[in-house]
Amino acid sequence: MQGDFESGYHHGLHLLQTGCYSEAITAFRQVLEIQPDSSEAHQFLGRSLLGEGRYEEAAAEFKEAMLLHRSDRKTEYWLAIALLKSNHCIEAFPVLTEAIRREPRELPHLYTELLPLVQQKCSLPQTEEFLKQSIRTFRDLIQAGERGRDSAGTLGTACSTLGELYREKGLLNEAVIQYRDAIRIQPDNPLYHGKLAGMYSITNLVKEAVSEYRASIRHNPQDAAMHKELADALVKTGEFIDAFHEYREAVRLAPDNQNFVNVYTRFRQLLISMDGGDTVQQPVQSPAVSSALLSQPLDTLFHRIIAGGENESVEYKTSALWSKYFSKEQISSSESKEVHKYGRDTSKIIIAKTIAGFLNTGGGNLVIGIQENKGGNGDQIIGIEIDYPRLKDPCPDGYRRMIIDEIIRKFLPSEIFHQLNEYIRIHFPRYQEKTLCWLEIKKADDGIFVKIQDDEHFFIRVDAETRQISDKALVDYCRRHFR
């Protein structure tokens, strides 16, 4: 009888390891008829059932195995996996937390299976707690000298994933810290360098972004997207010749990417025009192209925007934060319907509506810090300095973070926040000794809705106004303007 158990048990293991889950289920059930109190057989039956997608049955087998062998913490991990896959997250999470606490050495083995499950099935606070517990566990294992390479790899993954979670929540400084930790653990991982570079770019730390993009490319020189991102950052730092090289390399690596081709072509034409209009085969050898010259078109464009006044593609706003500290009395006595409806968020919502209007039409320019004079006597340059007392960090960088975190991230779809550089460029030009905030906005590929108080609204530009459309007009507009 014992011989039948042993041979059937090992046959079941072989079937499980080769992915023959249905046959493995039959084998382990036959084994359990011989020896029903075998915790190992119950565990492997549960894993076979997992492979077949029978998650509820798998969880029952893991629970039985734990009853028979209470000190087997590895089975506790498998129970957590079965419960997560069967959408019993409330029950699964404490099981997983206890398994990690009691048997931390098993976590590196199962981390690649656990992490996506936790991200998909659990809430953001639970995911954050799991990642923090994982990071502590991996660090303890490394310090103890156990499974150094495996633990280091999974620790880097956990730090990077926690960075992504913080980025999703708009906690940009915390995200940067996690990406830096991931790089310290695995300095040759190009993905981590690229993610940190992206965070530096969003927070306007452009020189640091350039350094990290270059580090990423050093470890993976075939990443066309990273070459393009580096080129974008180099343009911001005024290193135009190096930027040209990177745009060209991005096109060489991904010749079918039309976006890369278009950007490279426009940039090359700019270099040629700044060199006097001659055909330049190797513009990198042209000493006439300097930072001062290449920054001139941006300044010229901005002055044209100011000189032309408001129109379908240009909108002025005096302030982004004028309603931030309104009292209840000010809100109730206001003549504005929007103030009554949105309260202290009104000024930010108005900015979000304008951005969405440009995204949904043909793109455009929003300039904050100018008061339009409807009487025709010239617009008044106010400057964003009037908003500085309302900022935690009263400077252009603090203003940028406010625009990104408190307006774009809060009221616009997540794809705009995650691909910010593709759609919105934020500048802080000086004009008449005042600082202005200039948002260059590109037309979106799909319709963009503004999220306001659990409702979604759609805005477009009509002449010099931002207007809301809905129902049939919205359907017809999207059919005409978006693929």
Model confidence at 9: pLDDT above 70: yes
Model confidence at 367: pLDDT above 90: yes
Q: Are residues 199 and 306 in the same domain?
A: no
Does 82 fall in a domain? yes
189, 156 Cβ separation under 8 angstroms? yes
The residue behind tokens 């995204």 is 359
How, if at all, do strands 424-427 and 465-469 pair? unpaired
Indicate if the alpha-carbon torsion angle 466, 470, 476, 482 is positive or negative: positive
CA–CA distance, 132 with 20 (Å, rounded to integer): 36
What would the mean pLDDT of 433-444 be, rounded to a whole number? 91
Does 129 fall in a domain? yes
What would the mean pLDDT of 123-151 be, rounded to a whole number? 79
Q: In terms of Cα–Cα distance, which of 81, 124, 112 is closest to 99?
A: 81
| DSSP codes of every residue in 160-174 | HHHHHHHHHHT-HHH
CA–CA distance, 215 with 217 (Å, rounded to integer): 5
| DSSP codes of every residue in 261-322 | HHHHHHHHHHHHHHTTS---S-GGG-TT--HHHHHHHHHHHHHHHHHH-SBTTEEEES-S-T
Does 472 fall in a domain? yes
Residue pLDDT, tens place only, 226-252? 999 999 888 888 888 888 899 999 999
Q: Are residues 311 and 423 in the same domain?
A: yes
294-299: long-range pairs with CB below 8 Å, 24+: 294/238, 294/240, 294/270, 295/238, 297/270, 298/427, 299/429
443, 361 Cβ separation under 8 angstroms? yes
Percent of the chain whose predicted confidence (pLDDT) is above 70: 91
Kindly list the distances between the CA atom of residue 58 and the CA atoms of 27, 78, 82, 111, 275, in Å, as whole numbers in the listed order: 15, 9, 6, 19, 70
Query: Cβ atoms within 10 A of the Cβ of 362, count?
Result: 14
What would the mean pLDDT of 105-126 be, rounded to a whole number? 84
Model confidence at 147: pLDDT above 80: no
Report pLDDT for 282.
39
Model confidence at 196: pLDDT above 80: yes
Q: Are residues 438 and 326 in the same domain?
A: yes
DSSP annotation of 381 reads E
Q: Which of 218, 236, 269 represents a domain boundary (last residue)?
A: 218
Model confidence at 446: pLDDT above 60: yes
Does 174 fall in a domain? yes
Model confidence at 1: pLDDT above 60: no
Q: Are residues 213 and 307 in the same domain?
A: no
Q: Which of 199, 218, 237 represents a domain boundary (last residue)?
A: 218
Report pLDDT for 483.
63
Give the residue with greater pLDDT, 171 vs 207.
207
CA–CA distance, 213 with 225 (Å, rounded to integer): 10
Does 466 fall in a domain? yes
What would the mean pLDDT of 454-466 be, rounded to a whole number? 89
User: What contacts 111, CB < 8 A, 6 or more positions away?
Assistant: 134, 154, 157, 158
Give the residue with greater pLDDT, 276 vs 129.
129
214, 253 Cβ separation under 8 angstroms? no
Q: Name which of 62-66, 246-250, 365-369 the model is least confident about.
A: 62-66
What would the mean pLDDT of 249-277 be, rounded to a whole number? 81
87, 121 Cβ separation under 8 angstroms? yes
Copy the structure tokens of residue 316: 């002025």
Does 236 fall in a domain? no
CATH number of the CATH domain containing 419: 3.30.950.30
Report pLDDT for 288.
34
Residue pLDDT, tens place only, 69-110? 876 778 888 888 899 998 888 888 888 888 888 888 888 888
Report pLDDT for 292.
38
Q: Are residues 376 and 476 in the same domain?
A: yes
Q: Are residues 26 and 168 in the same domain?
A: yes
Residue pLDDT, tens place only, 323-353? 888 888 899 888 888 899 899 999 999 999 9
| DSSP codes of every residue in 109-128 | HHHHHHHHHHHHHS-HHHHH
Model confidence at 465: pLDDT above 50: yes
Q: Are residues 37 and 182 in the same domain?
A: yes
Q: Are residues 59 and 176 in the same domain?
A: yes
User: What contacts 450, CB < 8 A, 6 or more positions away?
Assistant: 349, 352, 353, 356, 411, 412, 456, 457, 458, 459
User: What contacts 420, CB < 8 A, 6 or more positions away?
Assistant: 202, 404, 408
What would the mean pLDDT of 40-55 be, rounded to a whole number? 90
How, if at all, do strands 314-317 and 364-368 pair? parallel
Copy the structure tokens of residue 340: 């009554």
Q: Assign 254 a pLDDT band (cuts: 50, 70, 90).
A: very high
Q: Which of 202, 218, 234 represents a domain boundary (last residue)?
A: 218
Does 230 fall in a domain? no
CA–CA distance, 363 with 284 (Å, rounded to integer): 31
Q: Assign 316 a pLDDT band (cuts: 50, 70, 90).
A: very high
Distance of CA 228 to the CA centre of its chain: 18
CA–CA distance, 431 with 193 (Å, rounded to integer): 36
The total number of structural domains that make up the chain: 2
CATH number of the CATH domain containing 15: 1.25.40.10
CA–CA distance, 147 with 138 (Å, rounded to integer): 9
Q: Assign 402 a pLDDT band (cuts: 50, 70, 90).
A: very high
Does 231 fall in a domain? no
Report pLDDT for 139.
85
Report pLDDT for 422.
83
Residue 271: what residue type? Answer: L
End-to-end CA distance of the chain: 69
Q: Which domain holds residue 419?
A: 300-481
Q: Are residues 114 and 204 in the same domain?
A: yes
Indicate if the alpha-carbon torsion angle 80, 84, 85, 86 is positive or negative: positive
Report pLDDT for 295.
42
Q: Assign 275 a pLDDT band (cuts: 50, 70, 90).
A: low
Q: Are residues 306 and 214 in the same domain?
A: no
CA–CA distance, 125 with 131 (Å, rounded to integer): 10
Whole-model pTM? 0.54
User: Would you report the helix, strand and coil content of the chain in percent, each value rounded to 5?
Assistant: 65, 10, 25
| Strongest mean pLDDT among 7-11, 71-75, 269-273 | 7-11
CA–CA distance, 44 with 72 (Å, rounded to integer): 13
Report pLDDT for 149.
53
Mean pLDDT for all residues in the chain: 84
CA–CA distance, 193 with 166 (Å, rounded to integer): 17
Report pLDDT for 10.
87
Residue pLDDT, tens place only, 181-191? 999 989 999 99
